[in-house]
Structure 1
Amino acid sequence: MLVQLSFSIFAIFLAFCIVKCIYAKLTSPLRNMAGPKPRDWLTGSYAEVRSEIRSAARIEEQWIGQFGPTMKISGFFGTASVYTIDTKAVHHVLFNNQIYRKTTPARYFLERMTGNPGLTSAEGDVHRNQRKIMAPAFGWPQVRDLTHIFIRKSQQLRDIFTAEINQNGGVARLDMSAWLHKVTLDIIGLAGFSRDINATGTKPGEPQDEILTTFEKLLAVELGPLDFLQGTYPILRNVSTSNERMRASSRAEMARIGMKILDDSKRDIAESSAFETNRARDLLSLLVRANTSKEIPEHQRMSDEDVLAQIITFLVAGHVTTSTTVTWTLFALSQNMDAQNRLRAELQSLATDSPTMDQLNELSYLDCVVREGLRVHGPVPHNVREAFCDDVLPLRTPWTDETGNLHHSVPIVKGTEVFIPMSMINLDPSIWGPDAKEFRPERWEKPIENDIPGVWGQVISFIGGPRGCIGYRFSLVEIKSLLFTLIRNFEFQLAVPAEDVGKKIVRVTAGPTLFSRPEAGVQLPMLVRPVTQA
């Protein structure tokens, strides 16, 4: 009887969703907007752009060539979404965050990971207050104080590579994705909350730091079909799933560990004068100091639970995107040996193994390489925003509807999703020229001007507007530190044919994978050899 009742409720709910989607499609102001046919009714066009990136990029190029920079694509259950690389439209979406916010499912998934709304999932006044409190921790002076951690951990990785090379007769085959994942975790552990996770130095079979073990369990929970439905339809969140139970268990363990880290930070701050210890310089301690500042009204301060959410945010946002960027930059340099050799010559010209932030930023070709790496291989290929009220989306390039009428804007109704393909904007030939897809660092030796709404460097890789990446300075110096140490000491070549390397989206980042071994997941095997210091 209970099974029959549950089935009946599900059938009624499914029928309601179908009727709702049909009504929305018939009444949508986008119904006459041209766009690609969806692959299927359930996932629409989203599955195509989240497929293996080589195929997805080719598909998106075909779409843009056929329908122009702004078009209609189908979302889940056939809902109409706007897809656009029009920089005027993208600027409008990113800079009007009171209208366009992270989608409801995205915020739901993020909060299931962090417990409370963190900086990546909070909206409105909550996001504004959190960003205000956290901003001082990510300024150039603070990153300058943390650069020695970036360099020290990069050198630890250098020494491990050297040992591997010596054990393998002068050349080692190493998975750069895995190693960079470990070292960036170590960096965010030390720079974020003065904890040496030592993922880089932990050998197989040795016990891991409990925060690393718990964090990996949290990330290991896969999203199933019901998770996506729960993200879209809150009524279904009352249904208990094995995924949510595992996630809740890992979240509780992470909260226990995080609370101890937070208590240690508070105690250390109370017992020491400002900036007397290394802990006083880490991101968490700077956050705790700012949160208790007299300049922050009591009602705007973050609770301990809110601060704990930032610890998980540090771990997720602070290492995945950076490790992915460095991995792809090494791939690009292995395909352009002239650029790799030129970069190495510049790095070896510096008479120290331990540069400061200012010395790193003065290396002009290194800066060009980092900019080009973030342009050609931005770690996050797509971003989606949901309209929380009706709006009109302005365009630089008009679109023609299926009846032949020309439009200079797009009518947006509440609930419409705007799909922003950041990778396609960074590779748009109309902005970057016919060699847009080529990794050519020299293009940055002359000033580049465009209207891409990014927070840094005329690219959109760090997003723009009020939700632009707060940690972009931290990430840039970390990337430069890793490249400085690795390229200065080693030569990198692909261990597989370049044609075997594809991109796989894991959650939001696009990591390297091999067509010949897709079951192995994200990886980038490279041959690493020592080079003679100049």
Structure 2
Amino acid sequence: MSSSAVILHDYLSWKLALCLFPAVYLLPRIYNGLAKLLQPLTSGLKDLPGPENKSYFMGNVGEILAGEGRTVQMGWTEKYGPVYRYHTMLGSYRLYSTDTRVLSYVVANAADFPKPSDLRDTLGVILGNGLLCVEGATHKRQRQVMNPSFGPSQIRNLSPIFFDKAQELRGILIGKMATLPENTIYQADMLAWLSRAALDVIGLAGFGYDFASLSEGSEADSLASAFNTAFGGALAPNALEMMRTLFPILQLIPDWSERTRKVKESHATMRRIGTKIIEDKKTALLAGAGGGKEAVVEKNSVKDKDLLSLLIKANIASDVAESQRMSDEEVLGQISTFIMAGHETTSTTTSWALHELTCHPEIQEKLRAELEGLPAEGATYDEVSALPYLDGVVRETLRLHVAIECTTRVAAKDHVVPTSEPFVDRKGVKRNEILVKKGDAVFFNMTHVNRLKSIWGEDALEFKPERWLSPPPKASTVPSVYSNIFTFFAGSRGCIGHRFAVAEIKILLFTLVRDIIFEAAIKPEDIETKATLITRPQLRSQPEQGSQLPMLLKLVNH
């Protein structure tokens, strides 16, 4: 080919690329932006009861963000009933319902109600192509690969790791108490300590990798710091990112903000450590197959049952069907996903359990009396799991304190959703169903459902482990994968690791509460939660310090 022909070819290639750019990149984003602008006109939700629009740009979102979101929405439920809509940005409508028949319908039709694309993009900044971010056939394939890691027998096999790390944490706390002068009470931020222990647990049980987070100065410090920076930054978008969500064409404008820079740096740290974990596991599996990089791994030759071994098997085994394979990016995404889901949520929930025990010392004493029936060392997973009062404490904590308390779904096609009871719309018409049109958003608040007096009784807001001796009959109507509470969601999108989480929380509480008395270090009214993805505690008096839960610790005199 002559030089002039090459130049002409390159010119035409660039010209074709420039012509295709609007179609491939801009047009879908323009379409999505127009769909958002038109949603208030076409929505099936516009005639539902609900609050008046406070702002065309922000809708009712400003009211929710100004306080604890669930409190605002619970107030609207009292005023408008279990089925209503409120306004989001640019006047769009969002369905909110605590009607368990509505919830069950959406959960049962999960494929038709995916997460909205902007939520998936936000989560994807941290989690990559992990289980929480993907939809459809990809989600189904990933879940099928991972299901064996979370069955009852596998959790029992992993329980020695839970005990080891719980006992290590107990030893550290007792050691710190022993170094204090006489008559001095040790104060600890239990959220921070439990976060370290949970990170170690998910590292060993999930990936066969020891973060050694309970050992100060380990590489886990950089991972935890990077995760928290990326996590916090992605959930606190700046004005440009909010405008990009509303008008996707603005994604062409580069974002050079300090916040974005830190999020990118943190994400790079997470990828570096995650990639090292994967490479170490691959090397170990290849060595077990009898050779180096040229060794052939077959699925039956992979004996390890930790999550990462199964993922790597689906990544490199020669006899795994193409439809069941996972890419390197998908494997990396699962590490980030399970660090968040198996670390942040478990440590936060256990912290809330200890908080409730400091608020109710009589419950703590009753629980400790039960725990002392088993030896501090040598108790088994089955023995701890069978303790009835501990079970009630954990269930009641999970009911009242949902780590990830809300989520949003968007209808991928039109649906007529039935309700349990009739309601009256804004036109005065009694209705038994909701017209949810393609593009309409549905918002779930799991904490609100778990605190409904119509289900749990007039004492629904009280911490009462005894209620689980005889749960209310109406609880059976709540869609759930665990204990008729909405905490772990339900259906095909229900939390795959709920057994893992419950076992770890029980073993942590058994090990710590048996030998340590926990007392409040601050007044309960100083504790608040903020509307982010994970409902962490922080102090009203010290918001600049971020998430924390300080407690006073004393040694039990058995």
The answer to whether the superposition gives a TM-score over 0.5 is: yes
Q: C-alpha displacement at 1:214, in angstroms?
A: 3.8
Output the CA distance in 1 between the equivalents of 2:229 and 2:342: 18
1:29 maps to what in 2?
A: 44
Q: Structure 1: 5+ residue runs without aligned partners?
A: 1-14
Q: C-alpha displacement at 1:142, in angstroms?
A: 1.6
Output the CA distance in 2 between the equivalents of 1:164 and 1:398: 59
Aligned 1:351-500 pairs, distance under 5 A: 351-449=375-473, 450-500=476-526
In the alignment, structure 1 residue 271 sits paired with structure 2 residue 295: no
2:8 maps to what in 1?
A: none
Given candidates 186, 196, 206, the residue that maps to 1:172 is 186
Secondary structure of the structure 1 residue equivalent to 2:210: coil
Contact map agreement 2:314 2:326 (CA 8 A) in 1: no
Output the CA distance in 2 between the equivalents of 1:43 and 1:197: 42
| Segment drifting more, 332-341 vs 163-172 | 163-172
Q: C-alpha displacement at 1:230, in angstroms?
A: 3.2
| Segment drifting more, 497-506 vs 485-494 | 497-506
In the alignment, structure 1 residue 162 sits paired with structure 2 residue 174: yes
Q: Indicate how the Cα distance of structure 1 residues 133 and 295 shifts in structure 2: closer, same or farther if over 3 A, else same.
A: farther
- Render the CA deviation track for 1:92-116: whole Å, top value 9, x for unaligned: 111211210111111011122233x
Secondary structure of the structure 1 residue equivalent to 2:477: coil
Q: C-alpha displacement at 1:39, in angstroms?
A: 4.2
Q: Indicate how the Cα distance of structure 1 residues 233 and 302 shifts in structure 2: closer, same or farther if over 3 A, else same.
A: farther
Aligned 1:41-52 pairs, distance under 5 A: 41-52=56-67
1:60 maps to what in 2?
A: 73
| Segment drifting more, 469-478 vs 246-255 | 246-255
| Segment drifting more, 36-45 vs 412-421 | 36-45
In the alignment, structure 1 residue 87 sits paired with structure 2 residue 100: yes
1:118 maps to what in 2?
A: 130
- Render the CA deviation track for 1:328-376: whole Å, top value 9, x for unaligned: 1111111122211111111111024243221221111111110000001
- Render the CA deviation track for 1:304-343: whole Å, top value 9, x for unaligned: 1111111111111111111111111111111122211111
| Segment drifting more, 140-149 vs 27-36 | 27-36
2:230 maps to what in 1?
A: 218
Contact map agreement 2:302 2:309 (CA 8 A) in 1: no
Contact map agreement 1:108 1:231 (CA 8 A) in 2: no
1:528 maps to what in 2?
A: 553
Secondary structure of the structure 1 residue equivalent to 2:535: strand
Aligned residues: 514
In the alignment, structure 1 residue 261 sits paired with structure 2 residue 261: no
Letter in 1 for 2:81: G
2:294 maps to what in 1?
A: none
Letter in 2 for 1:148: P
Output the CA distance in 1 between the equivalents of 2:452 and 2:521: 30
Q: Indicate how the Cα distance of structure 1 residues 127 and 501 shifts in structure 2: closer, same or farther if over 3 A, else same.
A: same
| Segment drifting more, 233-242 vs 486-495 | 233-242
Output the CA distance in 2 between the equivalents of 1:212 and 1:272: 31
In the alignment, structure 1 residue 74 sits paired with structure 2 residue 74: no
Output the CA distance in 2 between the equivalents of 1:420 and 1:521: 26
Contact map agreement 1:51 1:505 (CA 8 A) in 2: no
Q: Indicate how the Cα distance of structure 1 residues 498 and 38 shifts in structure 2: closer, same or farther if over 3 A, else same.
A: farther
1:516 maps to what in 2?
A: 541
Letter in 2 for 1:193: F
Q: C-alpha displacement at 1:59, in angstroms?
A: 2.4
Output the CA distance in 2 between the equivalents of 1:515 and 1:212: 24
Contact map agreement 2:311 2:326 (CA 8 A) in 1: no
Q: Indicate how the Cα distance of structure 1 residues 365 and 255 shifts in structure 2: closer, same or farther if over 3 A, else same.
A: same
1:305 maps to what in 2?
A: 329
Q: TM-score, normalised by structure 1?
A: 0.89
| Segment drifting more, 207-216 vs 447-456 | 207-216
Contact map agreement 2:45 2:440 (CA 8 A) in 1: no
Q: C-alpha displacement at 1:89, in angstroms?
A: 0.4
| Segment drifting more, 390-399 vs 161-170 | 161-170
Q: C-alpha displacement at 1:279, in angstroms?
A: 9.6
Q: C-alpha displacement at 1:496, in angstroms?
A: 1.1
Q: Cα RMSD between the aligned structures? A: 2.8
Q: Indicate how the Cα distance of structure 1 residues 525 and 253 shifts in structure 2: closer, same or farther if over 3 A, else same.
A: closer
Q: C-alpha displacement at 1:209, in angstroms?
A: 5.2
Q: Indicate how the Cα distance of structure 1 residues 388 and 363 shifts in structure 2: closer, same or farther if over 3 A, else same.
A: same
Aligned 1:174-253 pairs, distance under 5 A: 174-202=188-216, 210-221=222-233, 222-242=236-256, 243-253=259-269
Output the CA distance in 2 between the equivalents of 1:278 and 1:47: 52
Q: Indicate how the Cα distance of structure 1 residues 230 and 318 shifts in structure 2: closer, same or farther if over 3 A, else same.
A: farther
Output the CA distance in 2 between the equivalents of 1:234 and 1:442: 51
Contact map agreement 2:163 2:508 (CA 8 A) in 1: yes
Secondary structure of the structure 2 residue equivalent to 1:510: coil
Secondary structure of the structure 2 residue equivalent to 1:398: strand
Given candidates 371, 383, 388, the residue that maps to 1:347 is 371
Q: Indicate how the Cα distance of structure 1 residues 264 and 208 shifts in structure 2: closer, same or farther if over 3 A, else same.
A: closer
| Segment drifting more, 297-306 vs 428-437 | 297-306
- Render the CA deviation track for 1:30-83: whole Å, top value 9, x for unaligned: 222210134433332334334543xx4432232111100010111122201100
Q: Indicate how the Cα distance of structure 1 residues 99 and 17 shifts in structure 2: closer, same or farther if over 3 A, else same.
A: closer
Q: Indicate how the Cα distance of structure 1 residues 419 and 207 shifts in structure 2: closer, same or farther if over 3 A, else same.
A: closer
| Segment drifting more, 33-42 vs 490-499 | 33-42
Letter in 2 for 1:77: L
Contact map agreement 2:115 2:410 (CA 8 A) in 1: yes
Output the CA distance in 2 between the equivalents of 1:255 and 1:57: 34
Contact map agreement 2:450 2:485 (CA 8 A) in 1: yes
1:11 maps to what in 2?
A: none
Q: Indicate how the Cα distance of structure 1 residues 252 and 61 shifts in structure 2: closer, same or farther if over 3 A, else same.
A: closer
Q: Indicate how the Cα distance of structure 1 residues 244 and 376 shifts in structure 2: closer, same or farther if over 3 A, else same.
A: same
1:40 maps to what in 2?
A: 55
Q: Indicate how the Cα distance of structure 1 residues 159 and 86 shifts in structure 2: closer, same or farther if over 3 A, else same.
A: same
Secondary structure of the structure 2 residue equivalent to 1:526: strand
Larger Cα-atom Rg: 2
Letter in 2 for 1:111: G
Q: Give the percent of matched residue pairs that are identical in Structure 1 and Structure 2.
A: 37
